[in-house]
Structure 1
Amino acid sequence: MHAGGFRAPDTHQAKERLRRRVLARRGKLRPPDLQSAAIALRDVLLSVSEVSRAAVVAAYVGVGTEPGTGPLLDALHRRGIRVLLPVLEPDFDIDWSVYTGPESLVRAARGLLEPDGPRLGPTAVGTADAVLLPGLAVDNSGMRLGRGGGSYDRVLRRTAREAFRCVVLHEGEIVDGEVPSSRHDGRVQAAALPSGLVRFPVTAHQPEHA
């Protein structure tokens, strides 16, 4: 798949085909597989200096067959690291709130778990030293494939220039070739897999667009 050659409708269709393939694979994962992957991801990310030495980490709560983050969130919280978690807005933009433990998470729309504390505003992610994003796939240039709402492309444009930006994935979700992309799509610096961290070439930071 070569992103540069797609017309816009072709890009959309190619993204949807890749999403379907990834989600079909994830649908075969069983609860024990998901739990062991979540523990492995915790250990991988705690070994990454940009995460373990951060004062503020923006992350997410994995639900369903997403890569699990519960063990990681608790470990970061116990270390005294300020953890920001997303609150999805009706327009698919993302607000942020502080994680204070699993008891602070409440059920929200679309099957999500969100913190019940005060909202900090969409730009709060700019205070994070490390930003850990959900995704479905990534290529070796760091181009990330999300679920199609554009929420985390907006997040990436709001991160601090020096922030570490990492997508959290299951094994086999770094794809050969290129993830189909559009102008607004954002890249990450690394992917965390249960087997370890994969770093990508450094890319220019994408500033917020007016």
Structure 2
Amino acid sequence: MSQLPPSPRLDSAEAVAAHLDLLVTIDPRLSAVRDFAGPVQPRITQPGFPGIAKVITGQQVSVASAAAIWSRFEQLPGALDPVTYLSLSEAEVRGAGFSGSKFRTVRAIAEAMVAGELDFDHLETLPAEDAVRYLVAHKGIGPWTAEVYLMFCAQHPDVFPAGDLALLKAVHHGLGLDARPTIRDMIGIAADWHPHRSAAALLFWRYFAVMRDREGILL
């Protein structure tokens, strides 16, 4: 059986591969999923305020749209610092492509950070479930945003965003399930992949991308 690298966090392709090696021993069904998906890369985003703002940018929009909006947003002077973000007007931020609700969510996060009520360094020290609870206590941050932040910005090894539609579609197809799992179903399925749930999520995102490119969007 493969051993994990010195850091269990998913901060390199080698770390992801080591987690996947262990994951397929837990659930052999994932071996075929991995073979189809090919190499799986980590997703690494700057932590803290820039990271959470980028995750929020990606809420309920396509990957291409999120990338375009983010490229405009990050060019706004002061956009990536909570103190200077608060000096930006709603018109400036929405001009980059943010909705009004996303502008207000990021503003509330900036205000919480400036007030010392939201500490991303502290977040890094918490177990996944506690970290999710810590984040969702702040207005505008739901479970998906919290879980994706932990995966991409903290490289946490054991998080699965069960509400992600692409993951639900990919698991439905990849595991040959009779029906697309509900979020509740998905939480139960992913529980069996502990403590490598983040690697499982990366694997199924990659699986979904390959299926999309070869056969069109999964329905």
Normalised by the size of structure 2, how large is the TM-score? 0.28
Higher relative contact order, chain-length normalized (CA < 8 Å, sep 6+): 2
User: Would you tell me which structure has more helix in proportion to its own residues?
Assistant: 2
Task: Pick the structure with greater CA Rg.
Answer: 2
Normalised by the size of structure 1, how large is the TM-score? 0.29
